[in-house]
């Protein structure tokens, strides 16, 4: 069994603005599973996600013990199937394919902000939001905010809103930390701000931490295993390559990638 789960904040009942102002949940585990698979930024590329999951499932079948799948955020925007990716991830947890942890990315955070305060000049529309709206069948936004709110909440399932709002911002295991963006290594993990966890870029002169940080958010040509961190974002929506990293309890690290067929 995994170690006892400790939430920094209670499970949000509604996942609205006030709950998120207190910060997203952070997950802390006392023990380490036998294998962890961590998938980088999906960005609406459901076909790549399904292909990579099939590779991971086949690999996991040959591994004894407990296995956990972690997705590192940015499920929406830029690619063509944001809605389908969210629906799939919701079902993935329900079907028990593996023990799963889905983390929040900055794109989920900005999408939620848009859905609560829609406007034609919102930043989300300029970095992938329009593609996400298309995946929900929304091709054009009406003129007024009231009309926009009615269209958005009539088109986007409540289950998707709850999924986005309830995503934790951090998952920590002994000697391992999984986030979307990065961490401030000068600060205890319990005190990290979501702004850092979801938005931070790798620093050229990082402060060493007593744990390995596994993250996405900053696209690289191939999975980057660096000093104290692993970057798993290979820019799936632009490169056609979605990647994951496999970390074993015994310390071995492997890269798993798939490309468009």
User: Is residue 59, in this structure, part of any structural domain at all?
Assistant: yes
User: Is residue 64, in this structure, part of any structural domain at all?
Assistant: yes
Contacts of residue 18, defined as CB under 8 A and 6 or more positions apart, other chains included, come to none
| Cα-based torsion angle of the residue sequence 35, 41, 47, 53 in order, rounded to the nearest 10 degrees | 0
- So what's the pLDDT on residue 201? 93
User: Is residue 9, in this structure, part of any structural domain at all?
Assistant: no
User: Is residue 11, in this structure, part of any structural domain at all?
Assistant: no
User: Is residue 171, in this structure, part of any structural domain at all?
Assistant: yes
161-170 tens-digit pLDDT: 999 999 999 9
Q: Give 22's pLDDT tier (boundaries 50, 70, 90).
A: low
Domain holding 58, by residue range, is: 23-259
- Cα angle 112, 42, 225; round to 5: 115
User: Is residue 16, in this structure, part of any structural domain at all?
Assistant: no
User: Residue 241 sits in a domain of what CATH number?
Assistant: 3.60.21.10
pLDDT mean over 40-50: 98
Model confidence pTM above 0.85: yes
133-155 tens-digit pLDDT: 999 999 999 999 999 999 999 99
Question: What is the full DSSP assignment across the chain?
Answer: -PPPPEESSPPPSS--HHHHHT---EEE-SS--SEEEEE---TT-HHHHHHHHHHHHHHHHTS-S-EEEEE-S--SSSSS-HHHHHHHHHHHHHHTSSEEEE---HHHHHHHHHHHS--TT-GGGGTTHHHHHHHTT--S--SSHHHHHHHHHHHS-HHHHHHHHH--SEEEETTEEE-SS---TTS-GGG--HHHHHHPPPPSSPPP-SSEEEE-SS--SS-EEETTEEE----HHHHSEEEEEEEETTS-EEEEEEE--
pLDDT mean over 85-98: 85
Number of domains in the chain: 1
């Amino acid at each position: 069994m995994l170690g006892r789960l400790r939430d920094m904040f209670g499970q949000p009942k509604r996942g609205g603005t006030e709950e998120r102002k207190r910060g997203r949940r952070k997950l802390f585990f006392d023990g380490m599973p036998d294998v962890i698979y961590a998938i980088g930024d999906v960005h609406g590329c459901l076909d790549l996600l399904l292909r990579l999951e099939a590779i991971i499932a086949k690999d996991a079948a040959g591994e004894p013990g407990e296995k956990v799948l972690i997705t590192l955020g940015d499920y929406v925007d830029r690619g063509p199937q944001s809605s389908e990716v969210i629906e799939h991830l919701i079902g993935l947890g329900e079907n028990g394919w593996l023990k799963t942890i889905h983390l929040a990315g900055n794109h989920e955070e900005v999408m939620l902000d848009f859905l609560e305060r829609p406007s034609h000049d919102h930043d989300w529309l300029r970095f992938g939001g329009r593609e996400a709206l298309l995946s929900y069948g929304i091709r054009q936004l009406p003129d007024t905010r009231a009309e926009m709110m009615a269209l958005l909440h009539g088109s986007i399932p409540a289950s998707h809103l709850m999924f986005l709002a309830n995503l934790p911002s951090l998952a920590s295991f002994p000697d391992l930390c999984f986030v979307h963006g990065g961490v401030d290594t000068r600060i205890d993990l319990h005190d990290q701000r979501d702004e850092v966890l979801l938005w931070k870029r790798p620093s050229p002169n990082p402060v060493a931490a007593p744990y390995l940080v596994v993250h996405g958010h900053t696209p690289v040509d191939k999975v980057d295993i660096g000093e104290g961190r692993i970057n798993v974002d290979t820019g799936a929506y632009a490169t056609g390559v979605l990647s994951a990293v496999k970390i074993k309890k015994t310390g071995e690290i492997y890269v798993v990638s798939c490309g468009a067929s």
